[in-house]
Structure 1
Amino acid sequence: MEAVHPEPGAALHDVLQDFSLEMTGKDVPRLQEARAAIPPGTRINVTYLANEDLQMRVAAAEAVRDCGFVPVPHISARRLESAQELQTFLEALQRAGASSDVFVVGGDPPTPAGPYEDSLAVIRSGLLQQHGVRHVSVSGYPEGHPDITDPVLWQAIEAKAAALREQGLRGSVTTQFGFDVDPVFTWLEEVRARGIDLPVRIGVPGPAGIRRLLGYAQRFGVGTSAGIAKKYGFSITNLVGTAGPATFVRTLTERYDPQRHGGLRLHFYTFGGLKATSEWIGEFRGERQ
């Protein structure tokens, strides 16, 4: 398990010490541009989008590795048309030296394209560890999911935590991004109350244009009421300019109690802005030291 802090009110520097980032298969040029601003060994998730193919996904994971970071390729269960497709992808990642860490998610399609109806089915397949996977991250939804009820979400995360133990795989949870820390802490306390001790990476939106942030929030069912937006530091009635996550991150770390909330780190959704997000983190950390 990732280290936890010995005292409540964990230092901001510590929580940001092991942050992770997200990119798409098309973001390799942006990764190269941002490389100098990203600490060596940073975990970088590589998404699994419908408009990208196996070669693009594997090439992106390989580029992450070649830059001195840890690739975390996504596997979208419902997009897989067969067990062979999953095996082919894992084999390619293994050849590229990028299969030790993966993020397994159900994916957007409402109907599975093949035999995997959800991420749990992929975990239980046994194929992951056969191809060098040692650590699996799964999804968490502090504000719920627009298409899945809360009881089903809780049942799923409990089942995935149990399956990871049964399969002998290390695991963690990476949450959807949000703008309000209140549901994050409510959800975290429920996670721990249910006996789920996996380390958690809280999703944070990187600095981006306000219009773009709201567009992504709407797409993923994230709450953006006027009150929440004001706490975060922008107005939903004024879409000009950009917004950064300083208020969210500061409030999150001030309220974080490792005894109640367990292992906690941050995962930044970059929305294509790898360099802007990485530089923002560096500057923010510098201001707080």
Structure 2
Amino acid sequence: MSIELAPEQVRGFAPDIEQFPLGSRVFLTHLTGKPEAMQVEAALRIREMGYIAVPHLGARNFKTEQDFIDLVRAHSRNGITEALFLGGNPALFPGPMSESAQLLAHPVLRDSTIRTAFVAGYPEGHPNITDAALADALWRKLEICDARSIDARVVSQFAFDGAAMGAWARGLHEEFPGLPVHVGLAGVTSLAKLIKFAMMCGVGASVAALKRSASGIFNVISDRNPADVIEAIVSSYPEPKGPLHLHFFPFGGWEKTLAWYSEHQGARRPRINLR
């Protein structure tokens, strides 16, 4: 499994290695307005702890091309080997770049230490991009990685329809044999917070099903875990034909999510590659 943190959370990140083994991946967000030096410092700290730092690089968050170059070089000086390449969310952006493919094709990567590139996947589609356009964009990004001898992986936005997520992963493995796929899951948090983040992130297709589970005051105020989503993924795609991993967005805090997953894994180990 892997987990996602904001760079400012890393100073307090001290997981039990029994719950989160050394060598696991920690993704680090890249948000507009946040100092990029903070991400550099966080990635180095994660690496020194014995984990794999995977900083996000969002094209629309860079004010200039030089800002992107400087960030890649800073991570390379620290020996960071993996990154997630994104277009980014801002509809209005100051810089010259708008797509993750532009970042992947940039010459600065040739001399960088980054040899593994994650690109985004959307099990339920994208609210503003057609399925055909998403498929074409994925082809282009994988072609760029292949031409650059960069290992490519797909990591998805979180969702709540496990059957759809399993079908999506199966489709990717059929089209791209051997492609590692990381399915995104919301960590342990309240139902109200899950709905809030789902609406903010445009995860609309399965929000209705999520809301239906809000009947009764106990279900609204108590924490929700993704066990049902994981089980639905396993049922939908019981024998993965390629590497299949879990990636957690711990909206309720990384401690809750790691503790719950450790217990869940011990109680019933899913038929999924976990590392």
Partner of 1:156: 137
Q: Aligned pair in 2 of structure 1 residues 90, 26: CA closer, same or farther (>3 Å)?
A: same
| Alignment equivalent of 1:67, drawn from 33, 45, 49 | 49
Partner of 1:11: none
| Alignment equivalent of 1:209, drawn from 169, 187, 190 | 190
Within 2, Cα distance between the matches of 1:203 and 1:152? 21
| Alignment equivalent of 2:9, drawn from 19, 27, 36 | 27
How much does 1:193 deviate? 4.3
Contact 2:6 2:29 in 1 (8 A): yes
- What is the TM-score of this pair, normalised by structure 2? 0.89
Contact 1:65 1:71 in 2 (8 A): yes
How much does 1:255 deviate? 3.3
Q: Give the match's secondary structure for 2:221.
A: coil
1:282 equivalent in alignment to 2:262 = yes
How much does 1:146 deviate? 1.6
Contact 2:2 2:246 in 1 (8 A): yes
Partner of 1:235: 214
Partner of 2:227: 246
How much does 1:216 deviate? 0.8
How much does 1:236 deviate? 6.1
Gaps of 5+ in 2: 270-275
Within 1, Cα distance between the matches of 2:123 and 2:87? 17
Q: Aligned pair in 2 of structure 1 residues 114, 264: CA closer, same or farther (>3 Å)?
A: same
Within 2, Cα distance between the matches of 1:237 and 1:131? 53
Within 1, Cα distance between the matches of 2:177 and 2:156? 14
Partner of 1:145: 126
Contact 1:105 1:119 in 2 (8 A): yes
How much does 1:224 deviate? 3.7
**CA deviation profile, 1:239-264 (whole Å, cap 9, x unmatched):** 211100111112222432446x4221
Q: CA RMSD in A?
A: 2.0
How much does 1:197 deviate? 4.3
Contact 1:27 1:272 in 2 (8 A): no
**CA deviation profile, 1:130-174 (whole Å, cap 9, x unmatched):** 111110000000111122122111111111111110111001000
Within 2, Cα distance between the matches of 1:202 and 1:25? 22
**CA deviation profile, 1:89-144 (whole Å, cap 9, x unmatched):** 112112222x2000001001124432322000100113223111110000000111
Partner of 1:265: 245
Q: Give the match's secondary structure for 2:98.
A: coil
How much does 1:31 deviate? 1.2
Partner of 1:218: 199
Partner of 2:273: none
Partner of 2:102: 121
Contact 2:163 2:235 in 1 (8 A): no
Gaps of 5+ in 1: 1-18
Within 2, Cα distance between the matches of 1:219 and 1:88? 30
Query: Comparing both chains, which one has the higher relative contact order based on Cα–Cα distances under 8 Å and sequence gaps of 6 or more?
Result: 1
How much does 1:41 deviate? 0.7
The letter for the 1-side match of 2:119 is V
Contact 2:195 2:207 in 1 (8 A): no
Within 2, Cα distance between the matches of 1:167 and 1:212? 40
Q: Aligned pair in 2 of structure 1 residues 50, 227: CA closer, same or farther (>3 Å)?
A: closer
Contact 2:162 2:233 in 1 (8 A): yes
**CA deviation profile, 1:264-287 (whole Å, cap 9, x unmatched):** 111011126111111111111111
Identity across aligned pairs (percent)? Answer: 29
- What is the TM-score of this pair, normalised by structure 1? 0.85
Within 1, Cα distance between the matches of 2:207 and 2:88? 26
The letter for the 2-side match of 1:71 is A
Q: Give the match's secondary structure for 1:162.
A: helix
Partner of 2:32: 50
